[in-house]
């Protein structure tokens, strides 16, 4: 990564505009009318990619310095796919209050905040409190980016099988950041909450368990209406959809217990919960998080366009309506050419980010959170 000027600095006149005395006029204008910062500085097209290094990829809590390569890579993807400038910021603290304080203090320099690789359950509180405190979009990609692409993929998978989302019984394996967000996004997108079963490392989440965190207790209150208990095998018995976001392995026998013409999204990287070849023996449609198998569910399909659209609309937050609109746009890119091995757009498809950006901006305006 590098920082580059967007105007020439080849003469005294250029210098007088970029620095003194010309820059003072811009400062005075922004001081008088603060919203002009979006027009006359990088704020209107730049986001901060913020981590505390506590949950980096599958590497775990490796700290701020070791997290920097991932944040730089994320910034490069923002620029390549969404035309959004991004600055990686790795914080040398994992205290919730300190993170919120630092990001709040930095926020005037950016048009949005992309939270990245922050462990659960701390990530939920950090996002919620920053979203309440700041007048710009705050988006935890590990939660919502994954969830948006899962919803897009499931829409197209259901279409291929001539099914409706409201007819599907879904199992989400994993109740961390991605699992919680996937559950909420699928419900927002049309899956019935009572037909969703969430499984964590200790088994099915249900109201009779005494070991639930507040986030998991909320899931227990809204999902699993049948009151299922047990482990992943019991959850998958007769299920139509498996979404794996846990990293744990799922036995072939459990997948074999799913309903006919099932859908398996095994998204753990680099080792899926169930190998795609194994899943294909029992499911009609399979997707993974890997680039070497068909139907890769990749967050890069979501976050560049989401921030591009949010910045264009000068949205003050990212709403559920904007997330669902993003999912619909991703699904729509390949809706006319669906195949079992291609119901998710390629991560390199140049049509995706513009489509997502347009849909997100329109949803922001429709939802009353846009400033232009």
Burial 47-83 (b: 16+ CB within 10 A, else e): bbbbbbbbbbeeeeeebbeebbebbbebbebbeebbb
Tokens 């989302």 sit on residue: 165
247: confidence class by pLDDT, cuts 50, 70, 90: confident
* Rounded distance between C-alpha atoms, residue 354 and residue 189, angstroms: 21
Q: With 80 as the cut, is the pLDDT of residue 58 above it?
A: no
- Check 74, 184, 216, 323 and give the catalytic one: 74
* 117 labelled ligand-binding: yes
pLDDT value at position 304?
A: 97
pLDDT value at position 230?
A: 95
Of 177 and 223, more confident: 223
* 116 labelled ligand-binding: yes
Indicate if the alpha-carbon torsion angle 63, 57, 179, 75 is positive or negative.
Answer: positive
Side-chain half-sphere exposure of 154, counting CA atoms within 13 A: 34
* Rounded distance between C-alpha atoms, residue 263 and residue 240, angstroms: 6
Percent over 70 (pLDDT), the chain: 100
Percent over 90 (pLDDT), the chain: 90
* Rounded distance between C-alpha atoms, residue 64 and residue 68, angstroms: 7
Is 164 part of the annotated catalytic residue set? no
What are the backbone angles phi and psi of residue 296, rounded to the nearest 5°?
A: -75, 125
* 156 labelled ligand-binding: no
Is 19 part of the annotated catalytic residue set? yes
* Rounded distance between C-alpha atoms, residue 362 and residue 358, angstroms: 6
Q: Rounded mean pLDDT of 13-39? A: 93
pLDDT value at position 246?
A: 87
Per residue in 273-327, pLDDT tens? 999 999 999 999 999 998 899 999 999 999 999 999 999 999 999 999 999 999 9
Q: Rounded mean pLDDT of 86-106? A: 97
Pairing of strands 283-288, 262-266: parallel
pLDDT value at position 121?
A: 87
Nearest to 302 by CA among 367, 352, 255, 243: 352
Nearest to 151 by CA among 136, 135, 172: 172
How high does pLDDT run on average in the chain? 95
| Structural domains for the chain | 33-136 (3.40.50.10380), 143-372 (3.40.50.720)
60: confidence class by pLDDT, cuts 50, 70, 90: confident
* 142 labelled ligand-binding: yes
* 92 labelled ligand-binding: no
pLDDT value at position 248?
A: 84
What are the backbone angles phi and psi of residue 370, rounded to the nearest 5°?
A: -90, 145
Residues in the chain: 372
Burial degree of 226 (CB within 10 A; 0-12, 13-18, 19+): exposed
Q: Radius of gyration (Cα) for the chain, nearest Å?
A: 22
Q: With 90 as the cut, is the pLDDT of residue 198 above it?
A: yes
Helix (H, G, I), strand (E, B) or coil at 128: helix
Per residue in 146-186, pLDDT tens? 999 999 999 999 999 999 999 999 999 999 889 999 999 99
């Amino acid at each position: 990564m590098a920082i580059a000027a967007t105007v020439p600095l080849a003469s005294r006149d250029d210098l007088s505009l970029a620095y003194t005395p010309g820059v003072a006029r811009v400062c005075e204008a922004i001081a008088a009318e603060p919203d002009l910062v979006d027009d006359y500085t990088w704020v209107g097209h730049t986001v901060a990619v913020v981590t505390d290094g506590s949950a980096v990829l599958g590497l775990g809590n490796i700290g701020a310095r070791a997290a920097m390569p991932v944040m730089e890579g994320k910034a490069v993807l923002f620029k390549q796919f969404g035309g959004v400038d991004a600055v990686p910021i790795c914080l040398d603290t994992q205290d919730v209050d300190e993170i919120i304080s630092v990001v709040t203090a930095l926020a005037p320099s950016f048009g949005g905040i992309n939270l990245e690789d922050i462990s659960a359950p701390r990530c939920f509180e950090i996002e919620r409190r920053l979203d309440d405190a700041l007048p710009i979009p705050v988006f935890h990609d590990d939660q919502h980016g994954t969830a948006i692409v899962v919803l897009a993929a499931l829409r197209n998978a259901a279409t291929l099988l001539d099914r409706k989302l409201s007819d599907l019984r879904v199992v989400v394996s994993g109740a961390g950041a991605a699992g919680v967000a996937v559950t909420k996004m699928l419900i927002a997108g049309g899956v019935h909450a009572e037909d969703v079963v969430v499984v964590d490392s200790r088994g099915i989440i249900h109201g009779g368990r005494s070991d639930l965190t507040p986030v998991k207790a909320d899931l227990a209150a809204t999902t699993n209406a049948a009151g299922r208990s047990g482990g992943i095998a019991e959850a998958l018995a007769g299920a139509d959809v498996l979404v794996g976001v846990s990293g744990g392995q799922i036995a072939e026998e459990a997948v074999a217990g799913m309903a006919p013409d099932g859908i398996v999204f095994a998204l753990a990287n680099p080792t899926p919960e169930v190998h795609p070849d194994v899943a294909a023996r029992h499911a009609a449609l399979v997707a993974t998080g890997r680039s070497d198998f068909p139907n890769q569910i990749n967050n890069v399909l979501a976050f560049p366009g989401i921030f591009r659209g949010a910045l264009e609309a000068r949205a003050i937050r990212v709403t559920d309506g904007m997330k669902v609109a993003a999912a619909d746009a991703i699904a729509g890119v390949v809706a006319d050419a669906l195949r079992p091995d291609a119901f998710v757009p390629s991560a390199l498809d140049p049509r995706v980010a513009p489509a997502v950006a347009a849909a997100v901006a329109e949803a922001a305006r429709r939802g009353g959170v846009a400033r232009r």
